[in-house]
Amino acid sequence: MKKRRTELVFVYFLLLVLLGLTEYLQYLCHELTINDAFISYRYAENFAQGHGLVFNFGEYVEGYSNLLLTLILAGFIKIGFQPHGVSVMIGHLAGLGVVFLSFLISSALREKKDLFSLIAPAVLAVNPMFIYWSNGGLETQLNVFLLLLLLFFVHLRYIKNENKHSIPLIVSAVLFILNRPENFIFVIGLLVFLIVLNFKFIKSYYKSEAVIFSSILAALAILIAWRVYYYGYPLPNCVYAKSLYQVLYEKHKWSLWDIFIQFITRERSINYSVGFLNSIGGVFILLPALLVVFLSRINRRMYLILYMVILFYTGLVFWGRGGWMPYYRLFTPVLPVVYILVSMGVAVIVERVFSGLWIKRAVAAVVLCFGVAFTFGIPNISPLPERIEAQSELGKKLNRISSPREILASTILGTVSYYYRGYVLDMFGLTDEYIAHHGKPVNVGRMHFWYVASKRPTYFVTNTWRPMRMYFRDNPGEREQFRYFESKRYRKIKIYLFVRRSKLNSSNIGKHFTDGKFVRVPQNIR
């Protein structure tokens, strides 16, 4: 008994060390800022100032995909905090929570706390992908935390059959649904999966289970009804712009077989998935994760639920054709689940092969140290602060010299639009209802250039020549109406600013963009 207590103290001590290491590594990357986070900041500030959850005043378009985080930020802004600092703090706290929950779930699957329970949190704590997405200002790490919290209460309620966890299960499920628009699909699938796996238990306690299921579904129904009432659509506008255009707006009809073939043969999605797999150790890491459900004598139903998590997020990657952000953001929720499965698989294999207690502990210590050494890394974040600084300077400058009626059209929505407080037209359609709902995906080659031209924007801000070449091709009369400026302060950061000639002639603003940070190019676009 005394030896067991000593082992527990040692395990908890190592857990505290891991939590401290996690926060230290997160702090090293605290300057990381993701441009897209400023979309939510603008919504949160407008809401806190009484203008509603809108991007442009008077336009009710749900261009964010993180309702929960946006509401939290609005609350902190209301009492005087800056949104980015609060968002980074939430990411750090969520990162610590993910490490702690991975330990709790591993211990619950092991049904004891030992060194094997520390493998997943240890490897997770030093993973550069994990550290990267604890920063930046997005809801990514908060989403992982809420997912693990939901899985933890599912394990206690349906695997351990502990009836006292009904309310925490409902709350965690509702918060998870509020955090990302696709999460309701996972929760519904999880409820169906639980009915299949635990039919006898649910049948025995059907009244309490009916309360849990109906509460979660009622919260989802209220959320959808509010979206339809407030914005006019059941899903966020950015979902239509990014993912649903092919299903909703393509003229030809797709059969289920066509959709399936398109789904599994998307080269970009395959490359994205293979890249993620290689980043966490390659194919060989899957062996213990796959064997655990066959070798383990306990908690097999929970392992099946963890497999469901991996399949769900892999399906999202294939549906969305991968992602453009670094460090495999779309697979971040899968990362702790994979490490938990691998650590449990290693534990089962070691217990099958070795018999002595001290030998098992020694092997666990070796695996833990090897996993940390193999995974350890600090993400490269050097270009991002410069990009954010350059875009914020431009946004502030445009805000000073512009009137509220002047329109800024941009393909780099985020920082520029946050500091430019006038009307912003997103050329990708994330915050524009017309572009998102007229069958045009987030693709430069399929923008509604005639629609953009009809808005008569005073400024264009892009980070590539291509959209403007196509804009002037489709609207030749606009070619002679603009002069453009190039950013020169940052070598690796390209920002192109196009200003309408009438604005230049009427207000002599050219001097604002010839200060060494931007250089005016006298030629017209060709």
pLDDT digits 0-9 by tens, 373-432: 667 665 655 545 677 877 888 888 888 888 878 899 888 888 888 999 889 998 888 888
Given pLDDT bands bounded at 50, 70 and 90, which one contains residue 442? very low
Asked whether the predicted pLDDT for residue 203 surpasses 60, the reply is yes
Q: Are 163 and 208 in contact (CB under 8 A)?
A: yes
How many CA within 13 A on the CB side of residue 405? 2
Residue 351's nearest CA partner among 328, 333, 367 is 367
Which are the contacts of 25, defined by CB distance < 8 A and separation ≥ 6? 125, 126, 131, 378
What integer best gives the mean pLDDT of the chain?
81
pLDDT, residue 441, reads: 47
pLDDT tens, 283-317?
Answer: 777 778 888 877 777 888 888 999 999 999 988 88
Residue 389's nearest CA partner among 422, 423, 416 is 416
pLDDT, residue 252, reads: 46
Lowest mean pLDDT, pick from 56-65, 101-110, 468-477: 468-477
CA angle 386/98/135 to nearest 5° reads: 10
Query: What mean pLDDT comes out for the span 8-35?
Result: 88
**How many angstroms separate the Cα of 483 from the Cα of each of 296, 310, 349?**
68, 50, 67
DSSP state of 165: G
Q: Are 40 and 394 in contact (CB under 8 A)?
A: no
Q: Give pTM, 2 decimals.
A: 0.91
Cα 239 to chain centroid distance, Å, stands at 13
